[in-house]
Amino acid sequence: MKGYRAVADVYDALLRGENAKVSAGNFAIHKNLTIPAEWRKAGLTCTNDWIVQQASLNNPSNILDAGCGVGGTLFALIAQMHQGLGITLSDEQRRVAEAQASQLGLERRVRFLTQSYDQPLQESFDLIVAIEALLHSHDLPATIANLSRHLNPGGRLILLEDMAESDISDDPLAGIWSSGWALTHVYTREEFEQAIQGAGLVLERHENFTPMVKSRRWPGSLLRALSVVLGHGVSKRRIFLGGLALEHLYRSGKVCYRFLSAKRSNG
């Protein structure tokens, strides 16, 4: 956990900025997407609905949300018959998630822990989800290998993450994004896919959600100038600036917001 302290600070700052949403019962702090017509026709209104549909959990299942935030996705997934565990790097997020679980009457079927994605777990799961979380990993192959070890045979790993289309380590806007969001490395789509395959999982589905992401059109030159003015360190302003830089990277086609689903063999 020590190496992830800066990431936890980012999450804590985001949570303080989202308190009104949480109080209103919106427990997921994800990207703001423009929901396509085909989703609405299928009765889907948000990312969580999509993930529940893709999970296809017809039997009582044990679910892990790696990077659970304040519990929104896990609350949606456990429905009426499932149970789950959420892990987060932030003590503040864990406390909010536990309080919301109690209010929803779900405290007997869902638990939350403060720990990193790299620490061993004491149980196995039928489904593991990670939404906007593993981009913070310090060693993506090791992180995905650790999670996959806790998948039951036939279990699925579902990711929804920001991924570079190629190496952008020298891009100034990637540096602004990384600094604001406490990223140690901007992983590429190829690195995600190699990590999944290296963990012995089979990639089943791949969807590009980038066209659904709402983005603001701030000039890159202005973002670079603001980055110099704001300096370094975790702050709401730097997190906001990092998000604007990411949106610029979306528009340039250098980064995409992608859904990946992989499965562990039944053997």
What is the average per-residue pLDDT within 17-31? 53
Residue 145 in any domain: the answer is yes
Residue 231 in any domain: the answer is no
Any idea which of 5-9, 50-54, 114-118, 156-160 has the lowest mean pLDDT?
A: 5-9
Q: Using one digit for the tens of pLDDT, what is the confidence trace for 60-106?
A: 999 999 999 889 899 999 987 899 999 999 999 999 999 999 999 99
Q: Using one digit for the tens of pLDDT, what is the confidence trace for 207-264?
A: 999 999 988 887 788 778 877 777 776 677 888 888 899 999 999 999 999 999 999 9
Residue 175 in any domain: the answer is no
What the block records as the tokens of 226 is 């603001």
What the block records as the tokens of 215 is 């983005």
H or E segment and range at residue 205: strand 202-208
The whole model's pTM is what? 0.91
Residue 239 in any domain: the answer is no
CATH for 25: 3.40.50.150
Residue 243 in any domain: the answer is no
Domains in the chain: how many in total?
1
Residue 247 in any domain: the answer is no
Range of the domain at 73: 2-167+184-216+254-263
Three-state helix/strand/coil letters over 49-111:
HHHHHHHCCCCCCEEEEECCCCCHHHHHHHCCCCEEEEEECCHHHHHHHHHHHHHCCCCCCEE
d(CA 90, CA 110): 17
Cα angle at 99 between 93 and 104, to 5 degrees? 120
